[in-house]
Amino acid sequence: MNHLHYILLQGSEQLGLELSTAQQQQLLDYVALLHKWNQAYNLTAIRDPQQILIKHLLDALAVLPYLQGARWLDVGTGPGIPGLVLAVARPQWHFHLLDSNGKKIRFVRQAIRELGLENVTPVQARVEQYQVDTRFEGIISRAFAELGPFVRLTRHLLAPAGCWWAMKGHGEREVDTLPQGVKVARIVDIAVPFLTARRTLVVLKEADE
């Protein structure tokens, strides 16, 4: 077992997540693929594979126990964070990964192929122009925008009784940017293994739900 595999096993154990051997390998393959593409395409500022594993993968997996719903939109997915990681861990859920950056969506498409994922739909579009027939039970983002713009740009895509899930450092600082009619359902302090920086998950919903 190499060092990265050990960190992944320790991290998932701390989070109380059970990942199959195949899922563990998919996640490690994703780290390797992101590291390889990053050298040419600058997909993320984090260069070191160990830091990619901790600051991207474990950060994404840490919110998994709190999520509810089976149909998801990841807005501003970048190189697939958190959507690709969540899709590996929850193959029974479906994820649409949206970004306006063609280079990043090309990487996402390549990762979907190489990891053999069948529950991910990559979308290159601006979110305010994106339309769907069936709206999403959950809309999630990490580093896409402040809470207010995040909600306003995606409100037409959220299903009735659905929730927004915003991965933040100090999410409570942005609550006053929310549009009228949207409330904070909860703010969860997230413990990311091997990471000391504060992380929160801000859960939002329509106030009349």
Q: Minimal CA–CA distance to 95: which of 75, 111, 79?
A: 75
pLDDT of residue 106: 95
Taking every pair of C-alpha atoms in the chain, what is the biggest distance, in angstroms? Answer: 51
- Which pLDDT band, with edges at 50, 70 and 90, does 209 fall under? low
- Respond yes or no on whether the N-terminal peptide bond of residue 149 is cis (omega within 30° of 0): no
Give the type of residue at 45: A
What is the distance between the alpha carbons of residues 41 and 35, in angstroms, rounded to a whole number?
Answer: 10
pLDDT at 128 over 70: yes
Beta strands in the chain (DSSP E): 71-75, 94-99, 120-124, 136-142, 158-168, 182-190, 199-206
pLDDT of residue 191: 94
**CB atoms closer than 10 angstroms to residue 141:** 25
pLDDT at 18 over 90: yes
pLDDT of residue 192: 96
Q: Which residues of 50-83 are buried (b: 16+ CB within 10 A; e: fewer)?
A: eebbbbbbbbbbbbbeebebebbbbbbbbbbbbb
169: CATH: 3.40.50.150
| Per-residue model confidence as pLDDT tens digits over 169-197 | 987 888 998 999 999 999 999 999 999 99
Q: Minimal CA–CA distance to 165: which of 205, 123, 195, 125?
A: 205
pLDDT at 140 over 80: yes
Domains held by the chain: number = 1
Q: Which domain holds residue 55?
A: 3-206
% of residues, the chain, pLDDT over 70: 99
% of residues, the chain, pLDDT over 90: 84
Nearest 5°: phi and psi at 119? -115, 25
Give the type of residue at 97: L
* Average pLDDT value for residue range 127-150: 94
Q: Which residues contact 155 (CB under 8 A, 6 or more apart)?
A: 179
What is the distance between the alpha carbons of residues 93 and 116, in angstroms, rounded to a whole number?
Answer: 15
| Per-residue model confidence as pLDDT tens digits over 90-108 | 999 999 999 999 999 999 9
Sign of CA dihedral 60, 83, 80, 29: positive
* Average pLDDT value for residue range 126-141: 97
pLDDT of residue 104: 94
- Which pLDDT band, with edges at 50, 70 and 90, does 120 fall under? very high
* Average pLDDT value for residue range 54-69: 96
Half-sphere exposure at residue 42, Cβ-oriented, CA atoms within 13 angstroms:
1
Q: What is the mean pLDDT of the chain?
A: 94
Nearest 5°: phi and psi at 114? -70, -30
* Average pLDDT value for residue range 153-170: 96
